[in-house]
């Protein structure tokens, strides 16, 4: 009995001092579909394998989502990060995962990551820190990569050659290693390619003004749909 008891103590000490009993677990997650209007498909673009998106669809890393003229889709890519993809638009989900504390049977989320590439069209994003875990949410076009610095509402548009980013609330960050690093605050926009190193006031540009109006309208829609989802969300 003494031997068994001593062995148990050794195991406990090993777990407390080593990393073997506190291994972090990373797994892929899926975006949740809030709402679909019109013809929206998702799937593997390389294989041209697409299926119609419904409210029960799960969109994962590697999937491409396309909307037809007049269509739209609202998604929760992770808790606190919601997007609407407008008509005639296309995104690719490049990363979608979470990391958990291996010791926790419930909760214990340490980190969430989501990365979206907008290939064409318009995407409105609403971001907020909804829990205590670290949230890394990034959006990329062919011209720019950005991420919200705070709770934020913003619009991203691109035709593949030009990209425009307009901030309705909060602040966006274009990283220091970008050709034109900057902070874009609420009420400002920037467009790439550009010679300007500073954001421009939205009221000076008709397209940027429309970006702000559209984002504010979509914000209410996303908040309403998110409220009904939060209590039943999966990890």
12 within some domain: no
7 within some domain: no
18 within some domain: no
The range of the structural domain enclosing residue 137 comes to: 24-232
Contact 226, 76 (CB under 8 A): yes
CATH number of the domain bearing residue 116: 2.60.120.1440
Q: pLDDT for 10-69, tens place per residue?
A: 344 434 444 444 577 888 899 999 999 999 999 999 898 999 999 999 999 999 999 999
146 within some domain: yes
8 within some domain: no
57 within some domain: yes
119 within some domain: yes
Which tokens hold the place of 46? 């390389």
Q: pLDDT for 158-195, tens place per residue?
A: 999 999 999 999 999 998 777 778 999 999 999 999 87
The residue among 190, 188, 191 whose CA lies nearest residue 203 is 188
Q: pLDDT for 90-112, tens place per residue?
A: 999 999 998 876 655 455 666 78
Q: pLDDT for 119-145, tens place per residue?
A: 999 999 999 876 555 678 999 999 999
pTM of the model: 0.83
CA angle 130, 136, 137 (to 5 degrees): 85
Q: How many domains does the chain have?
A: 1
> DSSP secondary structure string, the chain?
-HHHHHHHHHHHHHHHHSSTTS-EEEEE-EEEEEEEES-EEEEETTTTEEEE--TT-EEETT-EEEE-TT-EEEEEEETTEEEEE-TT-EEEEEEEEEEEETT-SS--EEEEEEEEEEEEEEEEEEE---SSSEEEEEEE-SS-EEEESSSEEEEEEE-SS-EEEEEEESEEEE-TTSSS-EEEETTEEEEES-S-SS-EEGGG-HHHHHHHHHHHHHHHHHHHHHHTTGGG---
Burial 151-172 (b: 16+ CB within 10 A, else e): ebbbbbbbeeeebbbbbbbbbb
4 within some domain: no
The residue among 120, 35, 32 whose CA lies nearest residue 72 is 35
Greater pLDDT, 72 or 232: 72
């Amino acid at each position: 009995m003494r031997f068994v008891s001593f062995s148990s103590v050794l195991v406990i000490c090993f777990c407390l001092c080593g990393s073997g009993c506190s291994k972090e677990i990373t797994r892929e997650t899926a975006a949740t579909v809030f709402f679909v209007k019109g013809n929206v498909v998702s799937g593997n673009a390389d294989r041209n394998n697409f299926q119609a998106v419904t409210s029960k669809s799960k969109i994962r890393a590697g999937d491409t989502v396309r909307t037809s003229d007049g269509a739209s889709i609202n998604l929760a890519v992770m808790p606190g990060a919601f997007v609407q993809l407008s008509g005639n638009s296309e995104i690719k989900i490049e990363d979608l995962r979470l990391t958990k504390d291996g010791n926790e049977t419930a909760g214990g989320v340490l980190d969430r990551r989501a990365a979206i590439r907008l290939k064409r069209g318009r995407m409105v994003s609403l971001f907020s820190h909804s829990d205590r875990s670290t949230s890394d949410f990034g959006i990329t076009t062919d011209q720019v990569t950005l991420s919200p610095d705070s709770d934020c509402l913003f619009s991203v548009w691109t035709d593949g050659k030009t990209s425009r980013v307009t901030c309705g609330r909060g602040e966006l960050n274009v990283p220091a290693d970008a050709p034109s690093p900057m902070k874009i605050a609420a009420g400002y926009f920037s467009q790439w390619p550009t010679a300007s190193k500073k954001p421009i006031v939205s009221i000076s540009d008709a397209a940027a003004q429309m970006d702000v109006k559209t984002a504010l309208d979509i914000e209410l829609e996303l908040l309403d749909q998110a409220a009904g989802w939060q209590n039943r969300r999966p990890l």
